Structure formats: C-alpha cells, structure tokens
Structure 1
Amino acid sequence: MDASHFRGPIRRLLPLTAGACALALVSVSGCSDANSDSSAAEPTKSASAPRTVGDLQDDFQEVIKNVLPSVVQIDASNTLGSGVVYDSKGHIVTNAHVVGNEKTFKVTVATGEMVQKASLVATYPEQDLAVIKLDSVPAGLKPATFGVSEKVGVGQIVLAMGSPLGLSSSVTQGIVSALGRTVSESRADGGTGATIANMVQTSAAINPGNSGGALVNLNSEVIGIPTLGAIDPQLGDSAAPGIGFAIPVSMVKTVADQIIKSGKVTDSGRAALDITGRTVVDDAYRPAGVALAGVAKGGAADKAGLRVGDIIIKLGDVPVTTITSLSEALASDKPGQKVTVTYLRNEAEKTAQVTLGEI
C-alpha cells in the first residue's frame, strides 16, 4: 500500500488517427554572440574536468544513436502508435490500446527502411501491454536494451522516443519526476481501463502517438513504456504539461516474456479479490463503496466469507469509494498477501481477513 496514488484526471496517450493532424513547421533563426571567436581552440579536457553542456549533448546524441533504431511506428488500421523492438526474432512490445482489436499491422522502423508487416501475438489489457511480431525479420533489426526498475531514480535524465502526432523518430527530454505512481486509465476512446501500479512519472513531453514507445536513460536502456498523460480540466481537458506516465520496465519484461513463451500471461503478479463489483452512492449521491455483484466460488473473497450484497468500504487502511479506488488499492498488493477488508452487511460494519488471489 506504499505506492503513491495519482488521483488527478488521466488520459491514455491515444494512437494518432492517420491523416487526422497537420502541424505548422516554423523555422526559427538562432542567435550568435557577435564577440564570440568561432576559431578559438576548444580547451583540453582532463579526466577530472567538470562536465559541460557539450558533454551532455554528446550523451544525448549517443543515446539517440543507440536506441532510436529500436523504436518503431505501428500503423494499426486507422491509428498510429509506437513500439520497441524486444528481441532479434522480431517481437515488438507496445501498448494494448495501440493495437486495439487489430490482428495485423504495418511497422516502420525509425531508420526509415521499408514498411514491414506484423501480426499480433497477444494483448494483456489489464496492464495495457501487447506484443506483435514481424512477419519477416529484416537484416540488421536492432533489439533495444532493457534496464532494471530498481536502478531508476527520481531526477534521472530521460529521453522519450516514438511517433508523437505521427512524427516518427521524435525525441524529447526530461527527468524522472516520481516513482511508484498508481494510475487508472479511462475506457473512453477505446482505452483498456487498466489500473497500473508503480508507474514512472516523467516530465519528458509525451503526446498522442508516443504510446508504446520508449522512455530511455542515459545508459541507452529502456526503463519504461510511455502510456498515460495527465489532463488539466482548467485547460479544457488539454494535456497537463510535463506530467506523463510510463509502465515500468520490470512489468514490461514480465508480461512480454510470458506472452512470447506461452502466447498469454500465465502469472500476472496482480492481486485480486475474485469479485464482480459496482460503485454505490450514499444519500447525497456521493460514491460510498463497492457492492459485490458477484463472488467467484472458491475465490479469495468467497473463502473469507464475503458474499453478494456486501459493500466494501476499506482495503487495509485505504478507503474504498469506487471500483477505480478498489483497483488502485489492489494494484500495489501481491497474490497471497493477507489484507483486512472492511465491509457493510445489512448496514452493519464488519471486517474479514482475505488472502488475495490473482488476476
């Protein structure tokens, strides 16, 4: 329960509708210092010399050179999104909402080679991840290097790579703003409705079309898959600048490896109560809990004595008012973990110790 929960408005990074967006490209002239001497020799750098802006620029360009060839654009019928080459066999990991209900795709690699055809391996909407596979693997296909979630830290410089607004091979820069965010994706506009824990929050600009792309550290390692963007109601539900979320690399590898091996996710690592629920409201029409509309026989809730009609109002110390808040509370727990569920039965408050099941 120690994950930070982001409760502001969230929107998924919608794959761009092909042909639906036009951008005005503006040429901007740079400024130069009239007193600068362009012929001046660059100072010799010693091993102990402080790093300069030029050094950081070199780092950026090296990362882009290493990783961008592994980031692809995915054309899923009428929408465009991004993906990351996972292995040398042509597997590509992306978001489930990028592939939607499609089974075949056109894939363009960042270096501009011929468009390749790809087929769906499997989707896992519960984590908004999917794997597709190139029908024919082109020579020189370069898999990305995937990092380790435990080494990701707040303040690290990151680059987001993908096809925002259909502009393939685009790169933006920012930092890791926070870790451990739990966010819920809206089902609006075809979203999966996934509640995802331990997400990486970043200030790197990510926009529609970035979905499924790569969030990369300065070691040229993919540390996340950009998936969600916050919106600001005060800006007319426009994107909130500098607040985006990426699925952590640990979950990406867990899901992708299982899909590639078995064609499906066999061990989600996601906790479940094994119930079907619906949000209920109080006399003032405010969300007040989750009523159990169904309890799976032999499931976690059933074994703990919960039954249809009970209203869950708390999971551990976390108040539960809606289905979304219940999903968020469960997202940071693990199968087999014991939690205290507080619920109402015939208006009387009760508690039960539940050993969580698995999605």
Structure 2
Amino acid sequence: MDASRRPLVRRAVLCLLSFVLLAGCSLAGSTSSSSSSSPSAGRDLPDTEQAAVPGADDLESDYRKVIRDVLPSVVQIQAGDELGSGVVYDGKGHIVTNAHVVGDGKTFQVTTAGSETPLTAELVYSYPQQDLAVIRLERVPDGLKAARFGDSAEVGVGQIVLAMGSPLGLASSVTQGIVSATGRTVTEGGTGGGTGATLANMVQTSAAINPGNSGGALVDLRGEVVGIPTLAAADPRAGNAAAGIGFAIPASTVKAVAGQIVEQGRVTHSGRAALGITGRTLVDADYQAVGVAVVEVQRDGAADEAGIRPEDVITGLGDTDVTTITSLAEALAARQPGDRTTVTFRRGDAERTADVTLGEQ
C-alpha cells in the first residue's frame, strides 16, 4: 500500500490539485431483508413475486463471475510495515503495483488470493513519475493467474466497475461503482508516501478507494482490468476522504509502462512531454505563487533549444497560465512529446515568448 512509515490509516492525506489521498479501502455495508408484506396490497406475497426485480439475478451473476475470474489475480503486498495491493501481470511472476506502495523497498512479502502463506518478491523497477512499479515473485506458485488488461479507449462514463484489493489490510475485498469521468489530470502530494507525480488521463470512479487499495485492480464486467486504483479525493473543508471520488491509472498506461519494465528492466519511453528544466515555484512579496523559476536547463532539451536560460521565470505554456511547478506539470501532462507550443517567461523586467518543441520526460 501507501509506503510511508506511519500507521496505515493515518498516512492517507495527499493533494489532488489541492486535496488528494493515496488509495486504499472499501466501505463496509449491510443489506436489510425485504418486508414479507406489501403495504399497498395488505397481504403476504409469494416468494416469486417478492423477487421480481428485472435483470437483478443476471447482474448479480455477472458480478460473481467477474470476481471469480479476476480476484485470483489480485495480491496483497507487504512493504515493511505497510500493506498494499498488486495485480499479476504475467505467468512469470511479474506483479504491477503503485510506486508509492513499494516506496524505497527492494524485497516484499506477497500473499495471493488462494494462499495465506506469503511469497517473497523483489523489485524489478519503480517509476515514480507515473506512480507505477513492477515486482517479481522469486517462486511462481502453481495456478498463478495473470489478469487481462483492457483498452482505456473503450472505458466510458456510467460503466459499472469493481475495485479489488486489500483496503486496511482486508485482503481480497471488492467494492462496486461506476466510471464517473475519464481523462482527469491529478497531482499527488509529495508527503505521506506520495510520489508528487502529476498523472494524466486518470479514470475517476465512485467505487470505494481507500488506504490499501493502492495498486489493486479496477475491473469492468468483462473481467478486464481497466485501471490501477491510486488516489482518493479529500474534502478540502473536512480534511478527510471525499466519498465516491477515486482515481485509477488507466490500463493502457499500465500496459505501456509495465511492458517496458518487464521487457527492458526500466522505462525507456515515458510518452510524457517535458521542457527539460529543473524549476521551483516562485512567490512574490505577499507569498503568492507567480511562476516557475528555472534553476537548471537540460543540455539539448526543449527549453535549451528554445533559448530559455536559468533564472528565467516561466509564466505560461500555450494558453495555460503557469504559477507553480504543479501547474506547469499539469499543463505538460495534457501534451505529447514532439508537440509544438509557446512558452511565456520573464527575463529580468521583460516578458518574452519562445516557440518550443516539447521533449520526452
């Protein structure tokens, strides 16, 4: 799960744009049985009439089938004193999870859905920029089942999804919701175990995402993993989790990143646009953020070739105002390497613009 050294429940707070939590648990619930009499008819109804909810049996059957098919591919990961989740990527023992789940760890204890005996796994590679990591089991148990990953382009608003993982250490838990939105850009906080990454094209879901769900599976009714649950929003007024607003890294991104790690041992093509600078947020005399001060320019990078220098202050990218390093990251997240755009910046007292061809992070 979220890989801080603090206890599991207290370590949840992060920033989504302004308020976001690292992912984790399902909400407990109960159902009450229906009354055996009808208020309108005033008589007892046969069992067959009480169960007359069109399609309910079919939908429940779909849920149960998906859970039977996919849950064996979702594992619990212990990283130090913390617990998180992961998804079996292939039959060779590779497991994909969040980078904030593995943290700085190199070895982990993994419990599969069909066994209570932990298995040892080692880190293959962690990619905090996209909050993804791959670990590998030292011994592949019989019957280990790889998950099927779907196509993010086919994920639509209103689609029913199930979140599977180990919320609050409750292994093999399942919650249900819908896809609330797609294409969200969110930013993790850099404290409490977060990577500080800006994540583009996230899937927003109403399925419960709580501490411990991080790295698990967001699954559609075809039994395909459509995302890796990663973040839960927080109520800025109450300071705690906002019910029904969670975010998952889309399956296409997971496949692209994990595939490179499995095949090459690292990420060679991120697909993330970059300016090629190191910067910091600049504040004015009233402590208001006013831009990104360029600290270092990468040689032959996009900014270098456009003539941007250290001590310049970036205030815009294309039509987007830039006031903080986070807002710059979010503006870049909406673009692709090779895109052409303009950078607005201040040099001394003069405002300037430069045409830039974006590089790759």
State whether TM-score is above 0.5: yes
Match of 1:243 in 2: 245
- 1:42 deviates by 8.2
Name stretches of at least 5 consecutive residues in structure 2 with no aligned partner: 1-15, 38-43
Distance 1:215 1:42 in 2: 30
Answer yes or no: is 1:98 the counterpart of 2:101. yes
Residues 310/39 of structure 1: CA separation in 2 closer, same or farther (3 Å cut): closer
Match of 2:121 in 1: 118
Match of 1:127 in 2: 130
> What does 1:303-342 align with in structure 2 at a 5 Å threshold?
303-342=305-344
Answer yes or no: is 1:219 the counterpart of 2:222. yes
- 1:342 deviates by 0.6
Residues 42/166 of structure 1: CA separation in 2 closer, same or farther (3 Å cut): closer
Larger CA deviation: 112-121 vs 250-259:
112-121
- 1:348 deviates by 1.3
Equivalent of residue 7 in structure 1, options 5, 10, 17:
17
Cα pair 1:184 1:193 within 8 Å, conserved: yes
- 1:51 deviates by 5.3
RMSD: 2.1
Residues 217/39 of structure 1: CA separation in 2 closer, same or farther (3 Å cut): closer
Cα pair 1:82 1:212 within 8 Å, conserved: yes
Match of 1:149 in 2: 152
> What does 1:178-189 align with in structure 2 at a 5 Å threshold?
178-189=181-192
- SS of aligned partner of 2:47: coil
Match of 1:64 in 2: 67
String of CA shifts for 1:197-233, please: whole Å, max 9, x gaps. Answer: 0000000011000000000001000000000111112
Distance 1:25 1:158 in 2: 17
String of CA shifts for 1:161-192, please: whole Å, max 9, x gaps. Answer: 00001101100011000111111100111211
Distance 2:126 2:54 in 1: 44
Answer yes or no: is 1:209 the counterpart of 2:212. yes
Cα pair 2:111 2:118 within 8 Å, conserved: yes
> What does 1:336-355 align with in structure 2 at a 5 Å threshold?
336-355=338-357
- SS of aligned partner of 1:243: strand
Distance 1:108 1:7 in 2: 34
Cα pair 1:8 1:230 within 8 Å, conserved: no
Cα pair 1:313 1:343 within 8 Å, conserved: yes
Match of 2:303 in 1: 301
Match of 1:36 in 2: 45
Read off the aligned partner of 1:139 and give its amino acid letter.
Answer: D
Read off the aligned partner of 1:33 and give its amino acid letter.
Answer: S
Question: Which stretches of structure 1, 4 residues or more, deviate above 6 A after TM superposition?
Answer: 23-28, 39-43
Name stretches of at least 5 consecutive residues in structure 1 with no aligned partner: 1-5, 17-22, 44-49
Read off the aligned partner of 1:319 and give its amino acid letter.
Answer: D
